[in-house]
A and B are shown apart, each in its own frame.
Chain A
Amino acid sequence: NAGVMQNPRHLVRRRGQEARLRCSPVKGHSHVYWYRQLPEEGLKFMVYLQKENIIDESGMPKERFSAEFPKEGPSILRIQQVVRGDSAAYFCASSPGQGPAFFGQGTRLTVV
Chain B
Amino acid sequence: QQQVKQSPQSLIVQKGGISIINCAYENTAFDYFPWYQQFPGKGPALLIAIRPDVSEKKEGRFTISFNKSAKQFSLHIMDSQPGDSATYFCAASRMDSNYQLIWGAGTKLIIKP
The answer to whether A and B assemble together is: yes
Interface residues of A (CB under 8 A from B): 4, 33, 40-45, 48, 56, 58-59, 91, 93, 98-106
A4 to B88, CA, bound (A): 20
From 37 to 51 in chain B, residues with beta carbon under 8 angstroms from any chain A beta carbon are: 41-46
Interface residue range, chain B: 20 to 34
Q: Find the residue from B6, B43, B97, B106 having the highest chain A CB count within 10 A.
A: B43
A70 to B26, CA, bound (A): 37
Q: Chain B binding site: helix, strand, loop or mixed by DSSP? A: loop
Cβ B45 vs Cβ A103 within 8 A: yes
Cβ B42 vs Cβ A105 within 8 A: yes
Q: Mark interface residues in B9-49 (1 if CB within 8 Å of A CB, else 0).
A: 00000000000000000000000000000000111111000
Shortest distance in angstroms between B7's beta carbon and chain A's nearest beta carbon?
13
Chain A neighbourhood of B106, CB < 8 A: 40-42
